[in-house]
Chains A and B, each alone.
Chain A
Amino acid sequence: MDNMFKPRIIAFCCNWCSYAGADLAGVSRFQYPPNARIIRVMCSGRVEPRFVFRAFEKGADGVIVTGCHIGDCHYISGNKKAEERMKLVRYLIGILGLEEDRFRLEWISASEGQKFAHVMTAFINKIKELGPNPMFGKIEEGTECQQ
């Protein structure tokens, strides 16, 4: 494995729990590798499968979706919808020829700054292990979820 490989990670964080958890990681100065680019959405339930596919298509080496713990969703059950949907995403990226571990769904609360840092570190390390996105440039434009 190439030691110089610097994975590019897209992270979707829900506004109420996991984005706040990411903020708390900062406030608490918990350090983690600088590879993730966070996109704030109101709810993990907002994350469309096509966002994930688009990220892989454009060259992301890993995609992580984070939300409130099951039961804590600010919008009652958006995270449950996300969970169902993301199971399918994981399955589909396998069909596309990507390792399923390049995608992850995690629940992180607003008080779990430490967990946010841990999850990011572990995910980035996993992607480093897996190496660069092998499908970069090979996924056909327009691959979308037809549920």
Chain B
Amino acid sequence: MHGSALVLGGGVAGIQSSLDLANKGIKVYLVEKEPSIGGVMALLDKTFPTNDCSICILAPKMNECFAHSNIEVMTYSELTSLEGEAPNFQVTILKKARFIDEKKCTGCGDCTQKCPTKVPNKYNMNLDERKAIYLPFPQSVPRIMTIDKELCLKFTKDKCGNCSKVCKAKAIDYEQKDEEIVLQVGAVVVASGFEIYKPIEMFEYGYGKYPNVRTAIEYERLICASGPTEGNLLVEPNGEHPSQIGFIQCVGSRDFRRKNPYCSSVCCMYATKEAMLAREHYEDIEAYIFYTDLRAVGKNFQQYVDRAKKDYDIKYIRARPGQIVENPDTNKLTIWYDDLINPNVQSLEVDMVVLCTALMPSTTANRIGEILGIELDDNGFFRAKDLLGDPVSSTRDGIFIAGYCAGPKDIPESVTQASGASARASEVIAQAGG
């Protein structure tokens, strides 16, 4: 096949879509707003139900994408307009200045070492720091530095310039400007992913107030060997590993009054995985999962949960905790809950609480929807043309949807939908004579 396609979003769904299209001979422009492709999967430690190391299985795909002769990976870039109709779209991409000459940078990291400005590290959920000139994470693709303009001394105070001095490749370019690139494409696949809910407004759980209350994605970084603590779980006040961890499900999801009414679909399983990982790291840890309905519906999921109960001795408590109270002297946390099986109010003291928070549509979804002229549903996910019969088509011809941006789903379902969206996009391109 010939012709070209635009893929929006460089997470696992966007990567799969791009590879499928490119392997058929279609030219793919893969646009990612962050400096590296990889998406949220690159942040995860392991994946259920096989406990495969997440980055281990993703990194080869990221590299394959970048090396593919039919794929142009455009990171740190955003879609700004779309005109025309399928199969003759004209799109404009804003390629933001990273103040680095991409052709010269080798990613050696000398500049990072000499950069004096430390800023919160977004990749590690702000649990540690990075420099103002940085690679988002060790396996970043492409391996090209980016300068954080908002924080770099050269831009804020016209001082420093260390990176430019140490760069042997002469790749630093403070004068670099944003660039607008206009492309012709036959079809578009939207795989813009999701956002993770920060439960700041749920005061009863004390997130942000109690140091030992974490969100699941923070936990994921903490338990990961390449994370801020090199895989060590540490709790206040003594920096020791916790003896008891409580995982709380449905934080911000299946919540009809305040937050999202839908089920995020993956939390039961990732909590099970995270509890297993805790037990693998520290044999003596007791792990409790507070859940409402355990949605172990995927292939081999029930067997995974059975194994968690039997071989890992993880305790599942059917309850939606009402409140968490911290003992200010010990930083220990008391979870108060109404047990749904033995109905009465009970409490459990733990060293650490992990809030399994909702996954929500990306904050960019609204804008992408406006630019592309495609509809969103009541929850803010991209609406399928026909939820029953055509789940990969958006409400506009030639534009297809894949991954979590089209509704809650796990990694294999995202990969599946990504291939599905590619198939439909290929149809449009093939019928246009491509």
Contact = CB atoms under 8 A, between A and B. Distances in A.
A27 interface: yes
A27 B51 CA distance: 7
A29 B280 contact: yes
B280 A27 contact: no
Contacts of A29: 51, 280
A28 interface: yes
B83 interface: no
Interface string A26-56: 0111000000000000000000000000000
Interface string A1-39: 000000000000000000000000001110000000000
Nearest to B280: A29
Nearest to A111: B300
Nearest to A27: B50
Interface string B268-292: 0000000000001000000000000
Nearest to B276: A29
A111 to B, nearest CB: 10
Contacts of A27: 50-52
A16 B51 CA distance: 21
A28 B280 CA distance: 11
Contacts of B50: 27-28
Interface in B47-97: 50-52
B44 to A, nearest CB: 15
A139 B51 CA distance: 45
A116 B52 CA distance: 18
A118 to B, nearest CB: 15
B56 to A, nearest CB: 10
A28 B273 CA distance: 12
Nearest to A113: B50
B198 to A, nearest CB: 32
Nearest to B46: A27
A28 B46 CA distance: 12
A34 B42 CA distance: 32
A35 B52 CA distance: 25
A29 B52 CA distance: 11
Contacts of A28: 50-51
A27 B50 CA distance: 7
A29 B273 CA distance: 14
A21 to B, nearest CB: 13
A12 to B, nearest CB: 25
Interface string B160-172: 0000000000000
A132 B51 CA distance: 37
B82 to A, nearest CB: 42
Contacts of B52: 27
A147 B280 CA distance: 50
A29 B50 CA distance: 10
A29 B307 CA distance: 13
A87 B426 CA distance: 53
A27 B52 CA distance: 6
B387 to A, nearest CB: 34
A22 to B, nearest CB: 15
A41 B280 CA distance: 32
A28 B51 CA distance: 7
Nearest to B53: A27
B306 to A, nearest CB: 14
Nearest to B51: A27
A114 to B, nearest CB: 10
A30 to B, nearest CB: 10
Nearest to B300: A111
A96 B50 CA distance: 44
A110 to B, nearest CB: 12
Contacts of B51: 27-29
B58 to A, nearest CB: 15
A27 B304 CA distance: 13
A126 to B, nearest CB: 25
Interface in B212-247: none
Contacts of B280: 29
B294 to A, nearest CB: 21
B108 to A, nearest CB: 33
B273 to A, nearest CB: 13
A28 B52 CA distance: 9
B60 to A, nearest CB: 15
Nearest to B307: A28
A97 to B, nearest CB: 43
Interface string B306-337: 00000000000000000000000000000000
A46 B370 CA distance: 60
A139 to B, nearest CB: 42
Interface string B20-39: 00000000000000000000
A78 to B, nearest CB: 27
Interface string B388-413: 00000000000000000000000000
7 contacts: A27-B50, A27-B51, A27-B52, A28-B50, A28-B51, A29-B51, A29-B280
Interface of B: 50-52, 280
The 4 closest A-B pairs by CB, nearest first: A27-B50, A27-B52, A27-B51, A29-B280
